Amino acid sequence: MKEKSRFKTKHSTLNRMSAIILTGVSKKYTIHHEKPTFVEHIIKGSHEEFWALKDVNLEIRKGERVGLIGPNGSGKTTLLKIIAGISTPTSGRVDTHGKIVSLIDLRAGFHPDLTGIENIFLNGMILGLSKGEINKKLTSIISFADIGPFIDAPLFTYSSGMTLRLGFAIAIFSNPRIILLDEALSVGDQDFQKKSQREISRLSKQYLTVIFVSHNLQEIYNSCERIITLNKGKIIGDAMRKNFVI
């Protein structure tokens, strides 16, 4: 897939080994405390500004497994959404290279009334696979998800863990170059987490880039080789796993 540049970009800053580059990225939200009348809105309004991200500069290389940690409200999920293109930065520049698959919302791209198999085709096509490609990968996806007879049941009967299994299996076999995970693997059981970690490690050798958000530091430590700490919308730490102390 060709290089993809978004948000006020004219020329890419990506080199051939970069997967993601963020330059001066900030995100502002306006919080309204009460619903003002039209006149109040014109005169003064009742709101304040909240900066979820503030001047973030970051480069992630192809094949890196990066963990994002920090307290609630530190900007982790906002950063993932901006990389995924779900949210637009208030200012700054985002450059990405390759197909991005996001598992920020486990049920995104799924229909609750369709069966697991039907959702594989639906979600797979949303992720850019043809029906023929999905047919070729169908057995592998079903095997990796390992949800047994529920594969023929409608999605509304699934637990969060089963939905995660199916979503992650489809993501892995959709030929992504970048995968974004927000607490996703925390929903699965330990066997599935280990299987997913092994698959991510294998694909990383083929330059699959993974960005993983979790409040479980041990999980981040086991899954990622680089750990970035955010607080109040800013990067306050960036270390390789060997230099990171839990």
pLDDT by residue (tens digit) across 58-105?
999 999 999 999 999 999 999 999 999 999 999 999 999 999 988 887
Domain assignment present for residue 44? The answer is no
Judge whether residue 8 has pLDDT over 50. Answer: no
Edge to edge, what strands does the sheet with 3-6 contain?
A: 3-6, 91-97, 18-32, 47-61
- pLDDT at position 2 is 38
Judge whether residue 197 has pLDDT over 90. Answer: no
CATH of the domain at 121: 3.40.50.300
- Total of domains in the chain: 1
| pLDDT > 90 fraction of the chain, expressed in percent and rounded | 55
Domain assignment present for residue 92? The answer is yes
Confidence class for position 191, pLDDT limits 50, 70, 90: confident
Distance between CA atoms of residues 121 and 147, nearest Å: 16
Residues of the domain holding 23: 3-39+49-243
Domain assignment present for residue 35? The answer is yes
Judge whether residue 6 has pLDDT over 50. Answer: no
Domain assignment present for residue 169? The answer is yes
pLDDT tens profile 9-63 = 434 556 778 999 999 999 999 876 666 555 555 555 566 788 999 999 999 999 9
Domain assignment present for residue 162? The answer is yes
Distance between CA atoms of residues 168 and 145, nearest Å: 8
- Average pLDDT of the residues of the chain: 85
Domain assignment present for residue 53? The answer is yes
Q: Which amino acid is it at 226?
A: R
The kind and range of the H/E element at 103 are strand 100-103
Edge to edge, what strands does the sheet with 234-240 contain?
A: 100-103, 178-182, 209-213, 65-69, 226-231, 234-240
Confidence class for position 206, pLDDT limits 50, 70, 90: confident
Is the pTM higher than 0.95?
Answer: no
Using the structure block, give the residue that is written with the tokens 């899954």.
Answer: 223
Distance between CA atoms of residues 130 and 94, nearest Å: 28
Weakest mean pLDDT among 2-6, 26-30, 53-57, 222-226: 2-6
Domain assignment present for residue 170? The answer is yes
Domain assignment present for residue 176? The answer is yes
